[in-house]
Amino acid sequence: MAMAEGERTVSQKTDYPRPQQKNDGMGVWFFVEHKDNKVDEDCLKLAAEGRNLADKLGGETTAVIIGNQVECLAEHLGPYGTDRALVVEGPHLEAYTSEGYVDVLAQLVGSESPSIILLGATTVGNDLAPRLAARLKAPLVAHYIEIEVDKERKLTARRAIHGGNAQATVVPLKKPLIATIDTQLLSGQKAKVPRNTHIVGARVRIDPKTSATKVIDYLRADPCAVCVSEAEIVIGVGKGLGCVENLDAVEELARVLGASIGGSRRATDEHWITDERRIGLTGKTISPRLYLICGISGAFHHTLSIKDAKLKVVVNKDAHAPIARMADLLVVGDMQEIIPELTKQLREMHKPTA
Ligand SMILES: Cc1cc2nc3c(=O)[nH]c(=O)nc-3n(C[C@H](O)[C@H](O)[C@H](O)COP(=O)(O)OP(=O)(O)OC[C@H]3O[C@@H](n4cnc5c(N)ncnc54)[C@H](O)[C@@H]3O)c2cc1C
């Protein structure tokens, strides 16, 4: 069972209002992902979403931070309106393991009764959320779009189904509601009233020997195999690809660039690329450093999910295609000619000089 060990306040220069303790089943918790002692930026968006929901519920927001020497991370959450940080630390918690982290979270939840537990729809969040739901026998809404709170503070969640062609409304019958969200759907606005985040060092019983998993090392993924929503460079193909055989040249370019291949709905409908590589309303939202957009016309179903791409390079044979309007660089021509040429020139550039 979790026990409050001590409560401290993150020192901040401004004297923000001290939050009231409101753990009466109206609280919103969110799970903080972090790396190299830095809060994952998307988690700040989750913090803002937690604040927004807690305001509707009339409760407080609590960040759950698990790891080794991670208490300092709480100071980044105050501007996003986080009232409290439950911190669980230990050397055996340094690396994420499903069993270890579920154990910790389940014990923390057991000692209080939050209304909602939010997790990012990330690799860790997608792994942790269903396990936690199973452990607590609690309702889970994966990849929600919106959670509404009615006048009686009852929750209703909406999530996309049938590849985004319809939405399901889910009414959780129990608390807590465990919910994951693609943080790219969130704006991450700072709170109108920032908080002094109170740190609560929580102690839980963990037997490191019960974990069947031991993290030995992390290996860098093959960029071409990475999910488009996480890739730094994405090549998008559309109807202009013409046929699946033409994908070979795109794959060669992807290898040279270290890019992940995605595309339009026309490309997935033709089965040139798999459904999980679709970009757009019914697919993934992307925010790469470079998005190379080949043979895609620029329907809003596609473009609404590429707004955060830093540099958009368009290859299209039609200079007046709608996609041209959002291009940082427009190359007018046949992608079947341009792509192999680009691959060739990039290879030349990277040829080791004797
Ligand atoms: C409810 C709903 C949801 C949808 N969700 C999505 C979604 O999530 N993602 C999505 O992408 N779409 C989605 N769509 C479909 C969307 O409306 C468009 O039909 C689709 O994006 C068009 O795909 P495209 O640009 O590949 O094809 P097209 O519109 O046919 O465009 C092909 C482009 O390729 C160019 N071209 C042709 N040959 C070449 C060549 N050799 N070299 C260079 N350029 C060439 C053409 O000039 C043209 O601009 C959805 C539609 C609906 C109704």
Domain extent listing, the chain? 3-210, 223-347
pLDDT number for residue 20: 42
Return per-residue pLDDT of the chain as tens, 354 residues. 333 344 444 433 233 333 444 455 789 999 999 998 999 989 999 999 999 999 999 999 999 999 999 999 999 999 999 999 999 999 889 999 999 999 999 999 987 889 999 999 998 999 999 999 999 999 999 999 999 999 999 999 999 887 667 899 999 999 999 999 988 889 889 999 999 999 999 888 877 776 788 888 888 777 788 899 989 999 999 999 999 999 999 999 999 999 999 999 999 999 999 999 999 999 999 999 999 999 999 999 999 999 989 999 999 999 999 999 999 999 999 999 999 999 999 999 987 776
Burial 111-131 (b: 16+ CB within 10 A, else e): ebebbbbbbbbbeebebbbeb
297 lines ligand 1 (CB under 6 A): yes
Provide Rg for the chain, Cα atoms. 23
Mutate to test the pocket of ligand 1, among 245, 282, 292, 320 (most ligand atoms within 8 A of CB): 282
CATH fourth-level superfamily of 223-347 = TPP-binding domain (3.40.50.1220)
pLDDT number for residue 221: 75
Helix, strand, coil: what percent of the chain each, to 5?
A: 35, 25, 40
Let me know if the fold of 3-210 is the same as that of 223-347. yes
pLDDT number for residue 25: 72
CA angle 86, 217, 220 (to 5 degrees): 100
Distance 302 CA to ligand 1 centre (A): 8
318 lines ligand 1 (CB under 6 A): yes
Distance 344 CA to ligand 1 centre (A): 27
284 lines ligand 1 (CB under 6 A): no
Distance 301 CA to ligand 1 centre (A): 9
Distance 170 CA to ligand 1 centre (A): 32
> What is the CATH number assigned to the segment(s) 3-210?
3.40.50.620
321 lines ligand 1 (CB under 6 A): yes
117 lines ligand 1 (CB under 6 A): no
Whether this prediction's pTM lies above 0.85 is answered by no
335 lines ligand 1 (CB under 6 A): yes
pLDDT number for residue 354: 62
